[in-house]
Structure 1
Amino acid sequence: MIKAGYNRIIGLGICITLIFIFTGCGEFIGNKTVIKLAHGLDTSHPVHEAMLFMAERAKKKSNGSLEIDIYPNQQLGTEREALELLQIGSLGMTKVSTGVLENFVPSLKVFGLPFLFRDREHRFKVLESELGEKFLNDGLGKRLKGLTFYDAGSRSFYGKKPMDSPEDLEGLKLRVMESNTAMNMVQMLGGSPTPIAWGELYTALQQGIVDGAENNLPSFYLSRHYEVCKYYMVDEHTSPPDELLISTLVWNKLSEKEKEWLKEAAMESSEHEKKLWREAELEALEEIQKAGVKVTYLDKEDFREMVQPMYEEFSKDPEMKKIIDAIQAIK
């Protein structure tokens, strides 16, 4: 009896949660459409600010008939969980790193290749090209439609021990995203890759579960990881963008006009985010140095040589080689 009562309570809790999620993911109230957008970032993050900007633009374009409710800080789950909710239509939109998205859309694992882009300008040219639009649509078969990319800068390593060269990564337990490409890269550099949810990483660093991690400057600063890790090694090994997605189950219910408003608002927010990101990078660099973090700039050629086998492995797949060649051909 006790067990049966307990199970009923658990079942009721699950039902209440599902009702909360389902109502509003793409809800149509009279002449108003409300879409829920969930993500894992802090509210002070430039990408969160860009999504707020998008919501404002969509509301203005639609004269208030299209609203986007945003739930930050993993309120509705991790990045992977948010993607799974999109696939069943229980959540309308999300923002995830392409590093996580590669588990659902294999072509995006190309963004995990170290030193794929020549520089920041080249990265934007790729993302804003016809090839970039193809990447946004590659998830349609998985009920995931990309609306735009957000700049997520370049990722570098940081930790609790001095980091002055690639050799300093040897034997370190390093947190990575849930990405096979990222895990392979860390292994190639001599480290021990450890996938941990972003929201759990601060505690994992504190408790010594991992020795360090890799991420961009604003994320390192805004997560306050600099309180635990006093060494940041600027190698800028990868630049996987963030991607804003909508469930096709929700997208297909929108009118053509709503689709137009939403796509325009997303693209405008992407342009707005570029400026926010640059400002956030400069602020983060200044603030972590004030907090006593030692920032080291490395010769990237040392890293390039160590990860070259990843390109050789990727090139064994004809389709992946074609994608890499197309990216490198963009001038």
Structure 2
Amino acid sequence: MHSNARAAAVAAALALGLAAAQAAEFRSADIHNSDDYPTVAAVKHMSQLLEQKSGGKYKIKVFNKGALGNEKETIDQVKIGALEMARVNISPMNGVCQKTLVPTMPFLFSSIEHMRRSLDGPVGEEILKSCEDQGFIGLAFYDSGARSLYAKKPIKTVADVKGMKVRVQQSDLWVSLVGAMGGNATPMPFGEVYTGLKTGLIDAAENNIPSYDSVKHYESAKYYSRTEHSMAPEMLLMSKIVWDKLPKADQEMVRAAAKQSVAFQRKKWDEQESKSLAVVKAGGAEIIEVDKKSFQAVMGPVYDKFMTTPDLKRLVKAVQDSK
């Protein structure tokens, strides 16, 4: 090979290497099984937007069904830069960045609209930004609907919860929340709830309607009592290690695509909720209206225990004042 030809070949290889280094396929984790679940579909939608904005330079590959681990494991991977992105429930982030406790608090939002407004505004931005120190870029909040109690008997007031064994997520806040209602909080992984209800290990659980439907919990606990005690959102996170390597213009592109995917996710969520409600009713579930005030009245100790800093109290007040 002539030296000119060799030099040209080396230059071409270098150019190709450079293009490859600049083009990237980000991997994003999700635990939901359905390929069309609202959060999974939303990140795929974000990938399409990002590919358009970047002229094919960036895209995202979603690994759902817990393929890359459970939420806690994927959070750890994102922190060290071993994984670019993850969509997680906000609860596992409560111990990582303290301000994420705020949207998790019981009865904080008066309605889904109020929750969306708050998280789209300055309060939401401050909470997302607060995770940067811990190695996470908070890109967006996604909806997870309203969580309510479901059991083998109707729950109409807080007095009905007394002594019931209620499955909760493995977090201090959820244990305190059910404890404040007078229930016996029983932390267990989501995958064990179906058997727990069937065998009587637990009397009740709490979740949104799509989750109640997707794993057929209504077969064992047919009374869905609309407490709507929490509207804790989902979070879309990116590794700060990965983020810091992107040019500023590309960071803005990623952020813009994430924000645009929120409206898509909410629309999918609302559709999923209506569909799931029809499924559980057809499957024999009864939707019970509750005395919400009786539940709200016992939540003081939960706020006292977790909203312990001036910053947290300020954020709670900002949300409550924006009703």
Q: TM-score, normalised by structure 1?
A: 0.86
Q: Distance in 1 between matches of 2:191 and 2:67?
A: 11
Structure 1, unaligned runs of 5 or more: 1-27
Please list, as runs of the form range in 1=range in 2, the aligned pairs for 1:265-280 lying within 5 A after superposition.
265-280=257-272
**Shift of residue 30 of structure 1?**
4.3
**Shift of residue 136 of structure 1?**
0.5
**Shift of residue 175 of structure 1?**
1.9
Q: Per-residue CA shift, 1:31-90, capped at 9, x if unaligned?
A: 420111111112242122112211221122222221211111211111111111111111
Preserved contact between residue 156 and residue 291 of structure 2 (Cα < 8 Å)? no
For the residue of structure 2 that corresponds to 1:311, the secondary structure is: helix
For the residue of structure 2 that corresponds to 1:70, the secondary structure is: strand
Q: Distance in 1 between matches of 2:193 and 2:128?
A: 29
The structure number with the bigger radius of gyration is: 2
Q: Distance in 2 between matches of 1:147 and 1:58?
A: 13
The residue number in structure 2 matching 1:179 is 171
For the residue of structure 1 that corresponds to 2:225, the secondary structure is: strand
For 1:131, which of 111, 118, 123 is the aligned residue? 123
Q: Distance in 1 between matches of 2:191 and 2:217?
A: 11
Are 1:151 and 2:181 matched, yes or no?
Answer: no
Change (3 A) 1:51 1:203: farther
Preserved contact between residue 74 and residue 199 of structure 1 (Cα < 8 Å)? no
Change (3 A) 1:205 1:92: farther
For the residue of structure 1 that corresponds to 2:186, the secondary structure is: strand
For the residue of structure 2 that corresponds to 1:234, the secondary structure is: strand
**Shift of residue 293 of structure 1?**
0.7
Q: Distance in 2 between matches of 1:54 and 1:202?
A: 33
For 2:31, which of 26, 40, 47 is the aligned residue? 40
The residue number in structure 2 matching 1:320 is 312
Preserved contact between residue 40 and residue 64 of structure 2 (Cα < 8 Å)? yes
For the residue of structure 1 that corresponds to 2:182, the secondary structure is: coil
For 1:78, which of 52, 70, 83 is the aligned residue? 70
**Shift of residue 211 of structure 1?**
2.6
For the residue of structure 2 that corresponds to 1:237, the secondary structure is: strand
Please list, as runs of the form range in 1=range in 2, the aligned pairs for 1:154-233 lying within 5 A after superposition.
154-233=146-225
For 2:80, which of 88, 112, 115 is the aligned residue? 88
Preserved contact between residue 95 and residue 242 of structure 1 (Cα < 8 Å)? yes
Preserved contact between residue 44 and residue 61 of structure 2 (Cα < 8 Å)? no
The residue number in structure 2 matching 1:21 is none
**Shift of residue 187 of structure 1?**
0.7
> Is the deviation greater in 142-151 or in 301-310?
301-310
Letter in 1 for 2:31: G
The residue number in structure 2 matching 1:287 is 279
For the residue of structure 2 that corresponds to 1:68, the secondary structure is: strand
For the residue of structure 1 that corresponds to 2:107, the secondary structure is: coil
For the residue of structure 2 that corresponds to 1:306, the secondary structure is: coil
Q: Distance in 2 between matches of 1:131 and 1:139?
A: 13
> Is the deviation greater in 288-297 or in 307-316?
307-316
The residue number in structure 2 matching 1:237 is 229
Q: Percent identity?
A: 33
Change (3 A) 1:130 1:291: same
Change (3 A) 1:240 1:59: same
The residue number in structure 1 matching 2:57 is 65
Q: Distance in 2 between matches of 1:223 and 1:191?
A: 23
For the residue of structure 1 that corresponds to 2:284, the secondary structure is: coil
Q: Report the number of matched residues.
A: 304
**Shift of residue 180 of structure 1?**
1.5
Q: Per-residue CA shift, 1:160-205, capped at 9, x if unaligned?
A: 3443332332222222223221110101112122222233433433
For the residue of structure 2 that corresponds to 1:254, the secondary structure is: coil
Root-mean-square deviation over aligned CA pairs: 1.9
Letter in 2 for 1:239: M
